[in-house]
A and B are shown apart, each in its own frame.
Chain A
Amino acid sequence: MLFLLLRRRLRCAYNAVRVQTRWERGRNLAFGAAGLGLLGALHLGFHRLLAYLAGVELIGPLLMWKLTAMMLLMTLAMVAISSLLTSLTTLYYSYDLKFLMKAPVAARTVFLDKSLESAFFASWMIGLILVPYVLAVMRVDRLGPAFFAAFLATLPPFLLLAASAGIGFTLVLLYLFPSSRTRDAVWVLSSLSLTVVYGLVRFAQPERLIRPDALKVVAQYLSFLQAPTAPYLPSWWMTRALRSAAGGHWAAWGKDAALLWGAAAAVYAGLVALAGATYFAGYSGAQEGALRRRAHAFRLLPERFAAGRGPGAALLWKERLTFFRDVKHWSQIVLIVGLVFVYLFSIRRLPLESPDLRSLISFLNVGAAGFVIAALGLRFTFPSISLEGRSWWVLKAAPLGVREVMRQKFVFSAAPTLAVALTLGLATNAILGADAFTARVSLVALLTLALGVCAMGIGLGALFPRFTVENIHQIESSLGGFVYMAACLFYIGATIAILSWPMQMHFQERFGKAAWDWRVAGCSGAGWLVLNAVAFVVPWTLGRRALERHEE
């Protein structure tokens, strides 16, 4: 039966490709090529880093494999967290579950089918990033295609094992807490614990371990490099397998590959067995909906009515209510707060002595903080149009333009994004003690970036709407999400490049080398204005037009 379910997935995927129009096919090819370009750029970066590490005398290969182990550990953690976020929707709220649960299919089979779907969505993008890394390892170590084949053979069980954490957690959670209110509370606690664990790991300052000067003796450093990284986790088994394959020790590789496949089979067999007793109970609880008797609507209405001033205010009001009533959304604010603290802690720990270097880092912080804001935008701003979901008809049929809908979504996203940007900008400048000019330039640049990234998120979200997906992560990891992140990276990079001219003159002046060239400064300012105008207007206009034409 499972094969029948999997075959229908393949058939659906094939049909989706078959019915593409020529324009859609061309567009997908173009973006696919852009994706390959991005992976190529990543590969170049990885290669440069690995070549540098491998070139270090005596300990080069050790460093390279230590980095590989850390990379795989990070992948494991990211897939596990991602699967935690995707599993609830995929396992319990998929559109086709009503059909599948009615059909003469065992609940265990449905669970396995949905688990594989959840594992795929949680891991494909993160797993893909490993490919340019492994290709870089191959180039640096001069390894043949057999190594790549060995990597591909061990990747699926590794990703499946990583995703099983979220799937198992969700299965148990829904069984133990069928009441939606308890489930929400557990969801918040999960976010909170994740933030605490993340913070603890960061505050333990792991960077000390890869800096030899931080360890007392060379022997200690060498023993750290040679020691396994989290030996009981699949990431270490994968590292060992790759290392064996690189050394041509195929028997050892086979042992680790068998361990990975065997463990994946055992874990999923265990989950399926557990699902036999728990999945339907959890599914049944999830269908009951969130019955939470609120204060009676009529008593609440008069005071709320006072706030209403036309469609724009109504849209904002609706955005606020729906966001704060969905625990899966608002609970991630806890993670953001943790992220901001860890970011500022990292800035504080930077070993910077010279005031000039501190000011320089304060300027470059625009790029790093901009990236954090773009990543937040991918999670909150970009999906906001698609999250209208199947209720989109309410707005589309209503007497208000798409422009108004986009404007209110922008306002709703821009306020918190600006708050994060302001916190990161002001705190970083204060921590680093940047000079007044650098502090002002970086703060203005960061705040403008925050607004630009929001406008791009709404614009590109409207250009690539996905009203029928059942999971926010499908929106983030879609083609549109990729285009959004690529556009943001380009925008941030271009901002840094353009503003580096006046910053360069400023530093030269500090060193007493040259005076300001106001023509260059003017050009830079004009270039920055043009860049921002393009970043605001182009995605916005394209998105608005596409959404007006959009037909479901």
Chain B
Amino acid sequence: MIELEGLTKRFGPHAAVDGLTLRVEAGEIFGFLGPNGAGKTTTVKMITGLLKPTAGTVRVAGFDAATQTLQAKRAIGLVPDEPFVYPKLTGAEYLRFVGELYGADLGEMRRRIPELLEMFELTPWGGELVESYSHGMRQKLVLAGILLHDPKVLVLDEPMVGLDPKSGRLVKDIFLRLAARGTTIFMCTHVLEIAEKLCGRIGIMIAGRMVACGTLAELQAQSRREGSDLEGIFLSLTGGAEYASLLRYL
């Protein structure tokens, strides 16, 4: 479970995230949408302990991220927006390294690492240095890394970027299965179709503030666009209607 209370992050006078209050339940897939610069990645970084909030609290799986930092971090699996991984480790070595950092059982790792590499079709590359991996392969490796230590909370920043259609489908199925098992999933994405299909609830962030939050039906009601799909709702809330005038220039 993720609980955010009055979460705020300021960079000088600019509030990247402004008083965000949110609760994502166990077993829920929560989609976090917003235009570029809305504060999504900043929120992800505060939840995962990469940034310190200016104000407010973060609780992950019942642990206060400020005072019970290590317990909170142990409960999280993060896929960042850019999957930078040690270039001089092989894929299998990276997985083993991450597993040990998170205290995964050694015997379990010995069994799971080959399975995960196989699942993400990385087996032929498991013994190659990560520096030779494509963006999509690194993304799959990071995903395999978080599955290795079985976290209670997944925080995903654009997890589908760079994945081929088959891997994309696999990842979606994995998320659904994990959620069914009680894993909390917090996912930032720009792919509205994925959010619409996967997420039970969706939050839309603009300029550091959550302007709408709820199920698709609730969002339709909040934006007064009954019958609209998520794209219509998103564009109406984020000023997409201006496109028509912009397109005239092309």
B144 to chain A, nearest CB (A): 12
Known: A305-B109, A308-B106, A321-B89. Is A313-B82 also a contact (CB below 8 A)?
Answer: no
B74 touches A (CB below 8 Å) = yes
Which stretch in A152-160, A223-231, A295-303, A374-382 binds the other chain?
A295-303
B129 touches which of A289, A305, A393, A399 (Cβ 8 Å): A289
Stretch at the interface among B43-51, B206-214, B230-238: B43-51
Given A394-B98, A397-B50, decide whether A298 and B88 contact each other with a Cβ distance below 8 A: no
- Does any Cβ of B come within 8 Å of A391's Cβ? yes
Contact residues in B for A317 (Cβ distance below 8 Å): 97
A110 to chain B minimum Cβ distance, whole angstroms, is 22
Whether A397 touches B128, Cβ cut-off 8 Å, given contacts A318-B89, A322-B86, A390-B84, is no
B90 at the interface (CB under 8 A from A): yes
In the complex, the answer to whether A391 meets B97 with C-beta atoms within 8 Å is no
User: Could you tell me if A298 and B92 are in contact, using CB atoms closer than 8 angstroms?
Assistant: yes
Residue of A291, A298, A305, A395 touching B128 (CB-CB under 8 A): A291
Q: How far is the CB of B161 from chain A (nearest CB, A)?
A: 16
Residues 109 to 131 of chain B near chain A (Cβ within 8 Å)? 109-110, 113-114, 117, 126-129, 131
Report whether A297 and B127 are in contact in the complex, using a CB–CB cutoff of 8 Å.
yes
| Chain A contact residue count (CB 8 A cutoff) | 44
Q: CA of A290 to CA of B98 in the docked complex: distance in angstroms?
A: 22
Q: Is A549 an interface residue (CB 8 A)?
A: yes
Question: How many chain B residues have a CB neighbour from A under 8 Å?
Answer: 44
CB pair A304–B88 under 8 Å, yes or no, is no
With a CB–CB cut-off of 8 A, which chain A residues contact B91? 297
What residue of chain B has the Cβ atom nearest to residue A314's Cβ?
B100
A300 to chain B, nearest CB (A): 8
Shortest CB–CB separation between residue B53 and chain A, in angstroms? 11
- B53-77 residues at the A interface, CB under 8 angstroms: 69-71, 73-74, 76
Q: Is A389 an interface residue (CB 8 A)?
A: yes
B202 within 8 Å of A by Cβ? no
CA distance A389 to B130 in the complex (A): 14
Contact A305 B127, CB 8 Å, known A297-B91, A313-B100, A400-B70: no
Are A399 and B114 in contact (CB-based, < 8 A)? Answer: no
Which residue of A296, A318, A399 is within 8 Å of B86 (Cβ)? Answer: A318
For residue A292, CB closer than 8 A to chain B, the reply is: yes
Asked whether A301 lies within 8 Å of B113 as measured between CB atoms, the reply is yes
Q: Chain A 318-334 against B: per-residue CB contact (8 Å), 1 yes, 0 no?
A: 10011001100000000
* B131 CB contact (under 8 Å) in A21, A290, A313, A401: A290
By Cβ-Cβ distance, the 10 closest A-B pairs, closest first, are: A297-B92, A289-B132, A314-B100, A390-B84, A399-B74, A297-B126, A399-B73, A325-B88, A294-B127, A398-B101
